[in-house]
Chain A
């Protein structure tokens, strides 16, 4: 057991820019900051190339127009806003649609090998909510292509990569970042990074849920750390339940089944053999947006029309074995090896799985800087605003590279303007170090693992795909109980590569994020996208359409959840939307 010493040694490193998280957004930010001449530390909880980005499958949305010449930033922008139920930060959605094609081409320049059109250009596939065939892809392993391309580019850019290094606290002085503190997972030794600017690129919060497609890293660290130094979180009630996760056997429940299955022509049926999407979105059917398909599956199962294992059927076998093995190779192997199902011969069973956090750290739409903490930038899933109430499939990978680049660019610019590093408050660092080793001194009987399991079950049942005031209030009360238990959870062994110790810390971050999701969800008396209230089963276009939820913490840790008026889209962009189209974006809400 670790002795309780009040003296904690740590090594100190200094960089212009500290990037926390090495998925698509973090890598792209680091590459850009480095290209601007900044010295860059890229700090990741995992090995390089293993971040959650690697699991993305279907593709990245960019209006290249390689197949459909009518595509351009305007249709992509409109699709993103419609899909987001008009809750997106309009400027982020615009920048994203405008810049995604350049970013995708840049990946090709750096060695990415996308699937090709017959005339040798980047192939694009159809996806839910996208008017045109828009997703550049590599079979069903596009995330791997993205992260490997950025990884192989990044290692030649002079970036210092800190693998298996967990950041636990940010340091700030008078509203400006000064550094980041954490530990090496291998040894448990502490490390302090002094920095002029910080890019948070730490991903989402999916591991607070029982059935999720997310990897273990998604514990809400970035959100919690950023809030602790004064950043705000927005839109946290909007969670994306991907319609198609594996449902059986139990050990694979939640593993993603790419939307590309539907993009390539997969059909959804219920136990009666009906293509039930005709009852929810007859025009777009299986290629409706994810929120609608997920809730349709939920409703089919609830009403007794589900498959034997509590999902629905998804069938692509009519496309033929050769085509399936070429375009969906990972799905083919995943079902064959983990589920004993040959998808070239018959249907898969699928059901909703917690997949994506639309909300996140509030940022300036152009610079990605927090409006409340100078020098703190955020990009990718840990940031909020781009996707509104529901993200379109394919818009995440493009988000990573568009806003990852911007965060890196402006973080480097910010760093250039600082003449020197801000001083580090050693007393704070000591307190953070002491808090990290404190769990070793606890005498309780409970480890963090059962508390984590209970948290996941609670969030799934009471703050999940559909919500009600009664259950949200219960969840908030139960979260307080879980927090008290988490603070007492026992940690065994030493600081060397100790998953129990790691979880003891991550668990608090998950509970923090869960509380904010539950409180934001309780506040929003409205249903739209990734937030559905059975007791407010409609989209409230008068009041809640114009409000963005926001959460912040006082210095003593007190949480406040409120809202602000969503920025208004300028007239020339409003003019792009037609009112009839807008109506159809909402009329499905009452059907669940």
Chain B
């Protein structure tokens, strides 16, 4: 099949409304949206336009990116209000007559322009008990592709933190001290579902990671650029395990009378 690039939307000048600003003392996003007229080329993604602005208009425009191939998850931003990877958002798939609005991820403190401080995520990850195998003799380890599949879906995560940006528990309610967010729910799910992991993280998932805060709106799943079914395949099964352990009526009764 031949590759076809339509010229209809690509040999045109688009208006980009790009957020430029700096944080206040609390990391709030203080700044303004600046309009840049950008001549587009076929196949361009939003990040191409941002790079054009840097090279031609605004050399100090801050943007975080690495691979420009949707593999590293660095260039997360909000494009026309939707948390997205700038390197994966095609311009010829967007309306030709409207400005394209590019803003930093709202959920995280601003560093500058399109760059936010995502270090909270790295602190959260440190709290999670790492992979704990039953034994260290890897030569004897056997598990099958069906078992691997379940875990590998979660290990596709590129840590773009778009799910964290999207999640209303973090975005609107700022429960950073109570809820780890979808990214770390699937990190936990990946560990819990690993066929050879023997650590017990359920109490931690309930109390520290705050799984109960997720009310399954699935917004994170909708925005995941890796198409991980975060809610259905990760969070819900974890919730079921937590419920089985802590909220099963018979278990609760037995533990109350000292038999649990």
Contact = CB atoms under 8 A, between A and B. Distances in A.
B148 to A, nearest CB: 5
Interface in B94-136: 111-113, 115, 117-119, 122, 125-126, 130-131, 133, 136
A345 interface: yes
A111 B73 CA distance: 21
A339 B133 CA distance: 41
B59 A491 contact: yes
B145 to A, nearest CB: 4
Nearest to A56: B71
Interface string B28-66: 000000000000011111001000001110011111111
A435 interface: no
B72 A109 contact: no
Contacts of A111: 130-131, 191, 194
A347 to B, nearest CB: 7
B216 to A, nearest CB: 26
A252 B118 contact: no
A48 B122 contact: yes
Nearest to B4: A340
B250 interface: no
Nearest to B40: A251
A47 interface: yes
A163 B88 CA distance: 24
Interface string B144-177: 1101100110011111000000000000000000
Scoring B59, B62, B227 by chain A CB atoms within 10 A of each residue's CB, the highest score goes to B59
B142 interface: yes
B67 interface: yes
A51 B158 CA distance: 12
Scoring B68, B72, B144 by chain A CB atoms within 10 A of each residue's CB, the highest score goes to B72
B5 A113 contact: no
Contact of A186 (B55, B111, B141): B111
Interface stretch (A73-81, A144-152, A358-366): A144-152
A337 interface: yes
A342 interface: yes
A577 interface: no
A250 B3 contact: no
A451 B113 CA distance: 24
A256 interface: yes
Contacts of A55: 67, 69, 71-72
B138 interface: yes
B25 to A, nearest CB: 15
Given A120-B143, A252-B43, A492 B60 contact: yes
A323 interface: no
Nearest to B45: A251
B151 A113 contact: yes
A309 B43 CA distance: 13
A249 interface: yes
Contacts of B248: none
A346 to B, nearest CB: 3
Given A46-B66, A152-B130, A497-B111, A449 B90 contact: no
Nearest to B70: A334
A217 B67 CA distance: 9
Contact of A251 (B2, B43, B65, B144): B43
Q: DSSP class of B's interface residues: helix, strand, loop or mixed?
A: loop
Contacts of B74: 46-47, 50
B41 A141 contact: no
B221 interface: no
Q: DSSP class of A's interface residues: helix, strand, loop or mixed?
A: loop
Interface in A322-379: 329-330, 333-334, 337-342, 345-347, 349
A109 B138 contact: yes
B22 interface: yes
Contacts of A52: 66-67
B66 A215 contact: yes
Given A120-B143, A152-B131, A450 B72 contact: no
Contacts of B72: 46, 49-50, 54-55, 215
Given A163-B119, A338-B45, A450 B55 contact: yes
B155 A49 contact: no
Contacts of A434: none
A22 B197 CA distance: 26
A108 B141 CA distance: 9
Contacts of A109: 133, 136, 138
Interface string A186-217: 10000000000000000000000000010111
B60 A251 contact: no
A492 B59 contact: yes
B1 interface: yes
Nearest to A152: B130
B142 to A, nearest CB: 3
Given A144-B158, A349-B3, A492-B59, A497 B113 contact: yes
B44 A251 contact: yes
Contacts of A49: 72, 159
A203 B138 CA distance: 30
Contacts of A155: 122, 125-126
Scoring A347, A493, A494 by chain B CB atoms within 10 A of each residue's CB, the highest score goes to A493
A141 B156 contact: yes
A449 B141 contact: no
Scoring A144, A251, A447 by chain B CB atoms within 10 A of each residue's CB, the highest score goes to A251
A330 B191 CA distance: 23
Given A51-B66, A217-B66, A252-B69, 18 more contacts: A47-B118, A49-B159, A55-B69, A116-B147, A139-B152, A144-B155, A156-B126, A156-B130, A216-B65, A216-B66, A248-B5, A249-B43, A251-B42, A251-B48, A333-B70, A338-B45, A492-B59, A500-B60
Interface of B: 1-5, 22, 41-45, 48, 54-56, 59-74, 88, 90, 111-113, 115, 117-119, 122, 125-126, 130-131, 133, 136, 138-139, 141-145, 147-148, 151-152, 155-159, 191, 194, 227
9 contacts: A54-B67, A113-B148, A113-B152, A118-B144, A215-B67, A215-B72, A496-B112, A499-B61, A501-B60
When A and B form their complex, which 3 residue pairs have the shortest distance between CB atoms, in order from nearest?
A249-B43, A346-B1, A493-B60
